[in-house]
Amino acid sequence: MSFPLFDLAGRRALVTGSGQGIGLALAEGLAAHGARVILNGRDAGRLEAAAATLAEAGHAVETAAFDVTDPDAVAAAVAALEAGGPVEILVNNAGIQFRAPLEDFPIERWRALMETNVSSLFYVGQAVARGMIARGRGKIINIASVQSELARPGIAPYTATKGAVRNLTRGMATDWARHGLQVNAIAPGYFRTPLNRALVENPEFSTWLAARTPAGRWGETRELIGAAVFLASDASSFVNGHTLHVDGGITASI
């Protein structure tokens, strides 16, 4: 049985920050639905290891090691990728976290969060969108967070970046929908990832999370794949500027 609306066969998908965690899970999920995925990160060795794993599973995969916070590197890398064929799907996943009381939050950490979590979406999104606009179609998926809506102590700057991701998604859709692009966001809740390792290993936090989340547990990265495939496929052809929460109900309850 085939589902043509969700078929990604032959489409090239660039996933930033995809050497591990959510990015790698999304890349694997898109590849399983037929896309040729391009893994991105700064650690070439990690990318090659991830690519080898996907290739062993029979998936079509490329790698592109570049720093998404460097606009010149982004422009050069996207130009090189486009020379090998169109980038038809972009998942802006690269992101970092740092926790500290707001009154003591280091300025350099604020700047790093802004560059990685917000500026990189603009740099990569703009570079890839130019080719999409010329072709009259394209899919961009930005990775937001439940922190696009909610706050917790010690992560106010991260919360600011993810709020910006949600509104940048709206802005991209507003500017680019008329060119045939769909730009949406996925807002994950709390998932078991390397970024959240400190929280996963904290019994007190995990107990709190289970009580706070209607689903009563951490999310698993594979549970984000369906949302990504939907937003990357023709099934979402009239969905634009939307943020899809995949969070076990945490933003729906108090």
Q: Is 177 exposed, middle or buried (0-12, 13-18, 19+ CB in 10 A)?
A: middle
CATH of the domain at 181: 3.40.50.720
Mean confidence (pLDDT) of the chain = 97
Domain for residue 254, yes or no?
A: no
pLDDT at residue 57 is higher than 90: yes
Domain that holds residue 63: 4-245
Query: Percent of the chain at pLDDT above 70?
Result: 99
Question: 110-155 pLDDT, tens per residue?
Answer: 999 999 999 999 999 999 999 999 999 999 999 999 999 999 999 9
Q: Which residues are catalytic?
A: 158
What's the number of domains the chain is made of? 1
Nearest to 87 by CA among 163, 15, 142, 13: 13
pLDDT at residue 2 is higher than 70: no
Domain for residue 251, yes or no?
A: no
Query: Quick one: average pLDDT of 32-45?
Result: 97
Residue 254 pLDDT level (bands cut at 50, 70, 90)? confident
